[in-house]
Amino acid sequence: MEPAPPVGVLGATGFVGRALLPRLEAGGWRPIACGREEPADASGGASPGSVAHWVAICPIWVLPGHFSRLESAGATRIVALSSTSRFTKRESPDASERRTAARLETAEQALLDWAGRSGVAATILRPTLIYDGIHDRNIAMMVTWIRRWGFFPVVGKACGLRQPVHVDDVASACVAAITAAPPEPAYDLSGAEALPYRRMVERVFESLGKPPRVVSLPRWLVQMGIPVLRALPRYRHLTTAMFDRMDEDLAFEHAAAARDLGFSPRPFVLPSAPPAAHP
């Protein structure tokens, strides 16, 4: 029997990696988890020989620091995760969010430029709101907040559309892209449903078996409360701009990914009463 071909995975220890590694194995690949040091098999052994295929699920802006490693390994194919935040945060009133959008755009172009010079086939995948309800930074935060306080705060009508995409569907798209080498340089990956933000929150309540209690707060109160919440590690990523966007549509088409990658995301459904996340 032919040995399973190796695939290097940058960022394998993150929550997307938890879904990706078993997907790669099921697809007939031998994943090699790579950190800052030399690559190693996901099982813990050293990685022999060259590695032609790679999936980068680390922050895409750290990827240029790995280009020389990829060249030394004989890379010919790479799939990298970016984010639709490249577009949604570009005009944000929050300077840190604008910097994030700029970093994503710059890193995407750096990857495509390097790949073109090096003869490497590159595909960029841009998910919307990745979730599993346990390890992610957005939906899991809602779960924790609702469990603790019994309500969820919003600003305005919270009617902006959202398309949560399950982490396992993102992992499946990564495997499809590494296998199929699709023709486009980048694909948006959005969830199956475009839900108003308030309805998305209500779904989280329903998954926890709780009656929805979505409370509209004045913007000034949220603006005062954000610095207090940011003192807690769990909420350091919160910004007033995040609340302002609750009335903005952040919806993206995934028709191209469906056509070229067979991408077929699930509706937004959380397991009933997911276990509490560890701090």
Considering the entire predicted model, what is its pTM?
0.89
Give the H/E segment covering residue 91. none
Calpha distance 109→128 (Å, rounded): 19
- Domains of the chain, CATH where assigned: 6-261 (3.40.50.720)
Q: What value, to the nearest 5°, has the Cα angle with vertex 83 and ends 80 and 89?
A: 150
Mean of the per-residue pLDDT values of the chain: 89
Query: Three-state SS string across 98-143, please?
Result: HHHHHHHHHHHHHHHHHHHHHCCEEEEEEECEEECCCCCCCHHHHH
pLDDT per position as a tens digit, 24-40 = 999 999 999 986 544 44
Read off the tokens for 111.
Answer: 């990857």
Measured CA to CA, the distance from residue 174 to residue 180 in angstroms comes to: 10
pLDDT tens-digit readout, 222-258: 888 888 888 887 778 788 888 889 999 999 999 999 9
